[in-house]
Each structure stands twice: as C-alpha cells, then as structure tokens.
C-alpha cells in the first residue's frame, strides 16, 4: 500500500505497521532535484497514523489562532479522505 496524502506526505504499510514519510527534494549534490522520503514515524493503527499526521502538519504550520488551526486540521483531514477515496476506486 502506498497512498499520497496531499503533496507533502506518503502513507505506506507493511504487515506490521503503517508508516508516514514526508516527501523532500534534494537541493544539492549529484541528486539535486530528485525526490526522496524522510521517515516521520511508525504506527500500529491507521487511526494513529492519521492523528499523528494531522498533529505534525499543524505543528509545522505558522498557525496564529484557534480558528486557523481548525481550518488547517480540516484541510489535512480532507486531504486524507480524498487520498483514501482515490485508493478505493
């Protein structure tokens, strides 16, 4: 399983866990311009992975109010929902 969540994250799984990785672009060296994935974490339950993804993304954004935080959480949740719906098709 590999599900792209928005443009920033990838959710994969093996027989034991769900894995979140963040997409990155190499800026220097021989691999400049190539995409790679940085490990964010391992989660035994899918719900834990989604919860962690939302918390991580909110922490990385410059949110200045509770309303902005709510909007950001909703946006990430919709990205997750859209990614799962596309996978189910």
Domain count, the chain: 1
Residues whose CB falls within 8 Å of the CB of residue 77, separated by 6 or more in sequence, listed in order: 50, 54
Residues 4-18 have pLDDT tens digits of 888 889 999 999 999
Residues 26-39 have pLDDT tens digits of 988 888 889 999 99
Categorise residue 15: left if φ over 0, alpha if ψ from -120 to 50, beta otherwise. Answer: alpha
pTM of the model as a whole: 0.75
Domain that holds residue 62: 2-88
């Amino acid at each position: 399983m590999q599900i792209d969540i928005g443009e920033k994250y990838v959710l994969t799984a093996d027989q034991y866990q769900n894995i979140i990785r963040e997409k990155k672009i190499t800026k220097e060296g021989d691999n400049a311009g190539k995409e790679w994935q940085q490990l964010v974490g391992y989660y035994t339950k899918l719900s834990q992975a989604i919860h962690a993804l939302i918390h991580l993304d909110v922490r990385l954004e410059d949110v200045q109010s509770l309303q902005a935080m709510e909007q950001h959480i909703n946006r990430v949740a919709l990205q997750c929902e859209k990614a799962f719906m596309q996978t189910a098709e």
